[in-house]
Amino acid sequence: MSTIAADLHKREVRRTVLERLEEIQSDRTTSEDVRRDAENCFAELVGQWAKNDESLIDAAIVKLRGYIRCDWNRCDLVRALIRLNRRDDKIITPILEGLEKVGSWEQPDLVKELLERVETNDRRVLSWLVRQLRKDFSSGVQLLLSQRVREQLGDETVFAVLVESLEDATTPTASVRGGVSELLHGFGQTVLTQPDGRRRWARFLISLADHGNAYAREWALNELVELVPDMVQANEDINEIVQTVLRHAGRERDDPRQAPAIHYALKLARMLGDKKENIKTIVERLMGFRVAILGPSQVAQVPSLTRPDFAMIRDSFNSLSQKHALVYKPEDLERYHNALWAHVGTGSHRHFVILAGPSGTGKTKMAQIYAAAVLGFTNLEELNDSNHFRLVSVRPEWTDARDIMGYYNPLAKEGEGEYIATPVLELVLEANNQKDAPFFLVLDEMNIAHVEYYFSDILSAMESGAPIKLHSKTIEIKNERSNEVLRAENGEVTIPENLFITGTINVDETTHEISPKVLDRAYVLKLSCDWELFYQKSNLKDLSKDKFEELFGQSGVIRKTAEIMEKAGPAFGYRTAEDIFRYLLNGKAESSELDWLFESKILPKIKGSDTERLKEALGELATLAKQQNLTNTLRHLEQMQKDLDQKGFVKFVPM
């Protein structure tokens, strides 16, 4: 047929093609020769689409539809299809139906090439192409979200293609899900800067929640809820978002896979409070349990003390940590989550995790952000005001249980006596009042005092389940609600199953060692800085990308210093790195200033006995100081090396 197309006049080609079509259609056999002839005929027609009239192609579609069933992976045919800009269902639909029957696509390079060219704006064709990259789904999404493609197709078309692609795509792996989430989130941030951006982004997310797969639905619901505070502040209509979240929450009784939607409905109701009183009634009806929409100092109850879905917690945690410019290793978050909930449902009351690591690695913030994610708060201010959370800074002078559980003061109330409650005791009593909801206690810098001195009663109570005896008299306590509980319990209090305790510790000479008794009853999670993750995720680079690259990139001086010091023990955290960056950004970014910053922020952390690791670290730091022309730093390091050789011990001494 290619010979005919090359040699004959257009009119003769048309007549010849139609005659051949009639011959094929009149042949009622199903031989492979006839089918192959039909496919070849059609492929030639499609391949010459731009040169032939559309009525001829329409005729070919109608006459050959029943014959064309195999080998739809042919490159020439697919390339021709992508060149189409027609939206005629009569033509596009049978072609796509044939393509879908093929199964998995075996030519990813061709798919990427076609996506990069974007020779069609037909949504069904584009979404089909993205779906073909099953093994590299995020690559297809990334191509689709590129600036050039978006400018060519328009955001509305891109939105629709993403929905269709995620709706039918094979469930992506965790790494692909993370990549797609990041791409979509970045895309959303760009859209939000455009006129009417929030409304347009919300419309896309609603469509994604309604039509996407389970992963896409959960991601979209989370993003929708995150939009609400800004929309409320701007007095924009949020009714469609509210109805979408509650609609999905209402399906959870019939479809357990929709379970995360309940979390987002609760989060939404709590976020809006009495600004949207109608939500309270709707949520109560859908969930079948009371959702208390109270003031900012209280939190809505959860239906039961069950282990929350990690994926749901992870998304909320990541969103909050990003707001606070913090980065955490994904495996650290998952281990923390699993450790806290390991004994739930076993009858044990021992939910105790110790977060260890250098100062500035975000130990305290990790515990706070995690609690906020579980309780459904969108910021730490609401968390700190709630009665489900307490952050308590341990004091060096704490020596016994009275410092943490309170004490009886016989001289109070003009000699009548009074029990002085502590924030820890009040949280424990509140947790006993609501045993179906989680409560979180964070003891900051736990080992600044001897842990076993002030914490032994709680350790024993967690282990045995036995109550802690506070007093033996009928006395008043400052908090009225606590007073009622203490009276009812005869001055005793138990550590309930719904209390989750986290302690943070620094390991340096200013703190006490943790005793084996404490370590035996806790999970210990050591946090360290992931400088590659910090470099990738930190929002500091937006302030000055060049300076950030110079300091924290693969060969950045601060990053190299941190890696050297971590080998020797006296590591520093993200806080020190951020302090250095912000100082240089706002001051003179000269080597003399960096030299002073090393003296001020880094060298004082170096101390220890004569070890090969410490010697090696001092040598590497000295080499780095020479390379960077840090003269004062180099002088200090050379003196430290001498002290280590002569005295067997080293610490920073200002000169």
Tell me: the pLDDT tens digits for 306-315? Answer: 788 787 788 8
Q: Which residues pair with 440 in a beta bridge?
A: 389, 500
Domain ranges for the chain = 1-103, 313-526, 536-651
If one compares 637 and 442, the residue with the highest pLDDT of the two is: 442
Give mean pLDDT, residues 332-351: 87
3-state secondary structure of 465: coil
Instruction: Print burial letters for 201-230: b (CB count within 10 Å at least 16), e (below 16).
Output: bbebbbbbbebbbebbbbbbbbbbbbbbee
Residue 109: per-residue pLDDT: 63
Q: Does domain 313-526 have CATH number 3.40.50.300?
A: yes
Residue 212 has pLDDT above 70, yes or no: no
Q: pLDDT over 90 for what percent of the chain?
A: 7
Helix axes 10-26 and 54-64, enclosed angle (nearest 10): 10
| CB count in 10 Å sphere of residue 167 | 17
Residue 13: per-residue pLDDT: 57
Reported as a pLDDT band with limits 50, 70 and 90, residue 126 is low
Residue 333: per-residue pLDDT: 92
Asked which of 118-122, 481-485, 578-582, 583-587 is least confident by mean pLDDT, the reply is 481-485
Residue 71, CA atoms < 13 Å, CB-side half-sphere? 15
Spatial distance between the Cα atoms of 256 and 593, rounded to a whole number of angstroms: 58
Spatial distance between the Cα atoms of 589 and 259, rounded to a whole number of angstroms: 51
pLDDT tens-digit readout, 253-295: 544 444 566 667 767 766 665 455 555 554 444 444 333 332 3
Mean pLDDT of the chain: 71
Which H or E run contains 390?
Answer: strand 389-393
Tokens of 52: 């032939």
In sequence order, the 6+-apart residues with CB closer than 8 A to the CB of 445 are: 393, 394, 504, 505, 506, 511
Residues present in the chain in total? 655
Asked which of 70-79, 178-187, 328-337, 521-530 is least confident by mean pLDDT, the reply is 70-79
Most confident of the following: 120-129, 170-179, 368-377, 508-517:
368-377
Residue 366: per-residue pLDDT: 94
As a 3-state breakdown, the chain gives helix, strand, coil percent values, each rounded to 5, of 60, 5, 30
Residue 389: per-residue pLDDT: 93
- Encode 155-209 in three state secondary structure: HHHHHHHHHHHHHHCCCCCHHHHHHHHHHHHHHHHHHHCCCCHHHHHHHHHHHHH
What does the DSSP assignment read for 511-565?
A: SPPPPHHHHHTSEEEE----HHHHHHH-GGGGT-HHHHHHHHSTT-HHHHHHHHH
Residue 643: per-residue pLDDT: 85
3-state secondary structure of 608: strand
Tokens 């990069």 correspond to what residue?
A: 116
Strands 499-505 and 352-356: parallel
State the chain's maximal CA–CA distance in angstroms.
Answer: 117
Spatial distance between the Cα atoms of 508 and 503, rounded to a whole number of angstroms: 16
Residue 483: per-residue pLDDT: 53
Nearest to 287 by CA among 316, 257, 261, 313: 261
Give mean pLDDT, residues 426-432: 87
Strands 492-493 and 468-469: antiparallel
Residue 327: per-residue pLDDT: 84
Residue 99 has pLDDT above 80, yes or no: no
| CB count in 10 Å sphere of residue 381 | 11
Tokens of 272: 């809006």
